[in-house]
């Protein structure tokens, strides 16, 4: 069976929703203007106790993990040769590209001396012992790879069939790199915390952080793909690919089980399990995450449940939410820098984060309307 080829959805570009999203983006631009003219302190609540705030913890770490659907689906389709997931690949890649673009954008907004950003890649400045070096180089490279992976869609739209053919002949190399790079930097996003040492609560600080971040990223990626599919199916009044998504979440369940196994195994191994029962804010977030991660394990246990759109969606939401809470709390709650320090994102930081999400959604809406991203509509079977 061959899937329907992707095609532009069409429709009006200016709608009430796109207008609201546009306003949110404009608000973000205003805040960023303040940030670039007066400095980070004028727009954010960042301080020396919490030098990394919402923009890093959400926009970069969490945003890029939710964008992990791109590589997670590519892994499935191209490497593990599971062609049935193919209809998901282009929307996933688009969401990934936008996710990584907004992550890169947040990094620039967050960097104090952003004009020297190129130092990271420059021999003489580059410092290979730094986890951040690896993360930055990898993310940068992967964003380029994502753009290349999506290029066929643009070439198709432009009608440059020969260029598209040529590109497709070598695309496998980029696909392979496009799976490798996120594997590296998504795990390294967890490794970032290792150098913080005892500043990170023992429930979170561990040398298995890269593995935990990687497994949860792939799970979050599949969850994000599922949620996007659900949203577009409702928004565009199309049937949901329940069969594929159910299988996808079956893999997600495996990952969640692995995550929980590794997490608790590591706690037992390190003799830190008792912290899970000593009242503290990180303890609270720890259990919230574990609970959310375990939702797909029992909610989607039966094949019947995996056939129901609502449960598929809820399972995916729990998985994504778990990953979000895990990342936010690892970077902001479990990170305890010393007595007396407080941080909560300022209105400006929240505006920028909301604006970036709005930008992503806006871009996806516009892209699916003009580019061949989503599979052409079929009549409901």
Pick from 27, 192, 48, 180: which is nearest to 107 by CA?
Answer: 192
Q: Of the two residues 60 and 101, which places its CB atom closer to other proteins in the complex?
A: 60
> In whole angstroms, how far apart are CA 322 and each of 41, 223, 354, 355?
30, 10, 20, 23
- Closest approach of Cβ 308 to other proteins, in Å? 5
CA distance 80 to 67: 20
- Closest approach of Cβ 117 to other proteins, in Å? 6
CB count in 10 Å sphere of residue 357 = 18
- Closest approach of Cβ 292 to other proteins, in Å? 12
Compute φ and ψ for 47, nearest 5 degrees: -145, 180
Is 97 within 8 Å of 238 (Cβ atoms)?
Answer: no
Half-sphere exposure for 104 (CA within 13 Å, toward CB): 17
Q: Of the two residues 90 and 253, which places its CB atom closer to other proteins in the complex?
A: 90
Q: Of the two residues 9 and 324, which places its CB atom closer to other proteins in the complex?
A: 324
Q: Of the two residues 131 and 297, which places its CB atom closer to other proteins in the complex?
A: 131
CA distance 135 to 140: 8
Q: Of the two residues 12 and 310, which places its CB atom closer to other proteins in the complex?
A: 310
Would you give the DSSP letter of residue 78? I
- Closest approach of Cβ 279 to other proteins, in Å? 20
- Closest approach of Cβ 215 to other proteins, in Å? 14
């Amino acid at each position: 069976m061959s899937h329907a080829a992707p095609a532009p959805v069409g429709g009006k570009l200016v709608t009430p929703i796109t207008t609201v999203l546009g306003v949110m983006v404009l608000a973000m631009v205003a805040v960023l203007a303040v940030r670039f003219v007066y400095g980070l302190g004028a727009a954010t609540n960042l301080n020396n106790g919490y030098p990394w705030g919402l923009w890093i913890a959400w926009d970069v770490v969490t945003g890029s993990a939710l964008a992990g659907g791109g590589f997670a689906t590519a892994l499935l389709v191209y490497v593990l040769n599971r062609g049935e997931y193919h209809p998901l690949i282009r929307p996933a890649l688009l969401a990934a590209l936008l996710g990584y673009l907004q992550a890169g954008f947040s990094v620039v907004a967050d960097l104090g001396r952003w004009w020297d950003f190129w130092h990271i890649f420059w021999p003489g400045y580059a410092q290979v012992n730094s986890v951040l070096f690896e993360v930055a180089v990898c993310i940068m490279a992967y964003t380029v790879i994502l753009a290349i992976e999506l290029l066929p869609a643009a070439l198709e739209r432009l009608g440059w069939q020969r260029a598209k053919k040529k590109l497709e002949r070598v695309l496998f190399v980029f696909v392979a790199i496009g799976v490798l790079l996120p594997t590296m930097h998504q795990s390294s996003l967890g490794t970032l915390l290792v150098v913080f040492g005892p500043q990170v609560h023992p429930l979170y600080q561990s040398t298995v952080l890269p593995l935990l971040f990687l497994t949860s990223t792939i799970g979050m990626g599949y969850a994000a793909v599922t949620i996007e599919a659900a949203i577009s199916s409702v928004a565009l009044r199309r049937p949901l690919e329940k069969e594929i998504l159910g299988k996808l979440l079956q893999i997600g369940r495996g990952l969640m089980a692995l995550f929980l196994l590794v997490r608790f195994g590591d706690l037992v191994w390190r003799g830190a399990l008792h912290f899970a029962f000593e009242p503290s804010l990180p303890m609270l977030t720890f259990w919230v995450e574990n609970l959310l991660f375990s939702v797909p394990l029992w909610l989607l246990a039966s094949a019947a449940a995996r056939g129901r759109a609502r449960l598929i969606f809820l399972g995916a939401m729990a998985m994504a939410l778990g990953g979000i809470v895990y990342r936010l709390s690892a970077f902001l709650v479990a990170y305890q820098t010393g007595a007396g320090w407080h941080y909560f994102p300022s209105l400006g930081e929240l505006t920028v984060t909301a604006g970036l999400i709005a930008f992503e959604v806006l871009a996806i809406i516009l892209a699916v309307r003009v580019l061949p991203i989503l599979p052409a509509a079929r009549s409901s079977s």
